Amino acid sequence: MLNDSVRLIDAFLTVMLLLSVIHIGCSSRHLEQSPVERYYEESAPAYSLEQSKKNATAQSQKTATSAKPKETSIFSVIEIEDVEYPTHPVSIHLPFGVRPNNTVCLAEKHAYVTTERHLHVIDVSIPQRPSYLTSLPFDTVIGKARIAGHYVVISGKKELYLVNIEHPMSPVLGSTAHLPDQNTIEDFDVRESHLYVLGANDTLYVFSIDFGQARLVKSIELERGWWLLSLKPGSREVKQSRFPTSETLDIEIGDPLRSERQYLQIRSSKQEKVRSSVFLVMEWRIDPSYDLFSYDSYRILGKPFRSGLMTGYHNLALDFRTHLTETGQKTLTRSTPARAYAVANGKMQEIHPEPVTETMDVEAKRLKELIGPVTDFQVSGYQLYIVTANGFFFIRPVIHKYLLLTLYNSEESAKPHWIEKNEGFLPFLAGRPISLAVDEGGHYAYVLSGRENTEHSLFRGVR
């Protein structure tokens, strides 16, 4: 009996020893991970909306897929008050993948961010310390978002969602609208209490969105070759500007600006992006991936010109090369932001990734490939803000100073109409930017980015 008791105690101690070794091994693995890796692994359930639906047969694939990078997105804040030296103080890492048509938009002190199947609310009342508030899930893939009063309008492939944001801490999905015959949504814009939706069949659908309900009130068959769409303030009347037949600028483009009509920010018939305020800025069809054109009626500057239209040509690679030549700069350095946060399971915590500073030689580089194509741009005041696929952030004057010199015939007369400081740029570590929003005062810009794609990384092949 005594021997049996001894053997039982020995077996128990052996099991306990093995469990201790396993525990120590797991703990050491946990400590060897970087804070970001450990954080994201612990929050893995938040990454996939479909995780709860997977059955036991998918479990066998877990080992093979665990090495793949998890889908994430990054919300970055950029200080832009000093246009010559913008800075990147903080980022929030979100455990949700993004698509190229997801967006960030602003309403008062909150940023509303769409990712593949979520709307996220971020408090930016203190921009240097943004605070993640909540997320609203959707059953389908979503894309662009625009603010309409107390609502965020969000597009799906065939649906339009109106989300009530009167209480930002608890956004509520309200009504859902569809195009006739379940047509696919190509693009949309919001003006006052109306929603303008471009269908895949080149038809523009006008919805009234009073009281949070989207009600179809008008359909407009667009002519072939339409380029831009504008509408009269307070009216649903839509004017179609024809695509120019030559490389010269068409004076018709300036008519809406002079008559205080509003351009709809809907992609043109040639698929160029459009941004409009008192200026009109759009991708230029010669090279829409890298070149932008801006238009301005001389009504603003109070001086007539033969075309009645002010233009600015923005070739980022050329402008960047000019900057490097004027400053003598031969290297660029990118580093992590001052602070970084990560979100998982509805909570945000500060993370401390290992400091990373990368320096590259920009001499003899193809600057277009270095910068990457334009992914989004916005106009605020007299400035144009641009993000590119390889993580560059640019600030450019909407009105190019050389064109002002041509107009005013002297630098002294033209100076009041352009920014005295050098225009700024910032290479920042924020994945691959896809959307940009700028506050009305021109103090802060907010950028939504996807996970860095190593195949198209800015530093690929750099020695």
Please count the helices (runs of H) and the strands (runs of E) in the chain: 9, 31
Q: Is the dihedral of CA 442, 253, 246, 289 positive or negative?
A: positive
Which pLDDT score, from 0 to 100, does residue 310 have?
65
195-229 pLDDT, tens digit per residue, is 999 998 889 999 999 878 899 999 999 988 788 89
Residue 297, token pair as written in the block? 């009626």
Place of tokens 């040509």: 313
Average confidence score pLDDT of the chain: 76
Which pLDDT score, from 0 to 100, does residue 224 have?
83
* SS3 label, residue 329: coil
Which pLDDT score, from 0 to 100, does residue 114 have?
98
Extents of the domains making up the chain:
246-463
Confidence class of residue 441 from pLDDT cuts 50, 70 and 90? confident
Average pLDDT over residues 421-433: 75
Contact of 94 with 343, CB cutoff 8 Å: yes
99-139 pLDDT, tens digit per residue, is 999 999 999 899 999 999 999 999 999 999 999 999 999 99
Contacts of 127 (CB under 8 A, 6+ apart): 77, 79, 443, 444
Can you spell out the DSSP letters for 152-207?
A: EEEEESSEEEEEE-SSTTS-EEEEEEE-GGGPPEEEEEEETTEEEEEETTSEEEEE
Confidence class of residue 455 from pLDDT cuts 50, 70 and 90? very low
Average pLDDT over residues 40-69: 35
Average pLDDT over residues 369-376: 90
Residues 60-84: b if buried by 16+ CB within 10 A, e if exposed: eeeeeeeeeebbbbbbbbbbbeebe
* Rounded Cα distance, 29 and 154, in Å: 42
Place of tokens 């009305």: 440
* Rounded Cα distance, 368 and 288, in Å: 12
Alpha helices in 45-161 (DSSP H): 56-59, 62-65
Average pLDDT over residues 345-368: 76
9-25 pLDDT, tens digit per residue, is 454 445 444 444 334 34
Query: What do you get for the CA distance between the two ends of the chain, in Å?
Result: 73
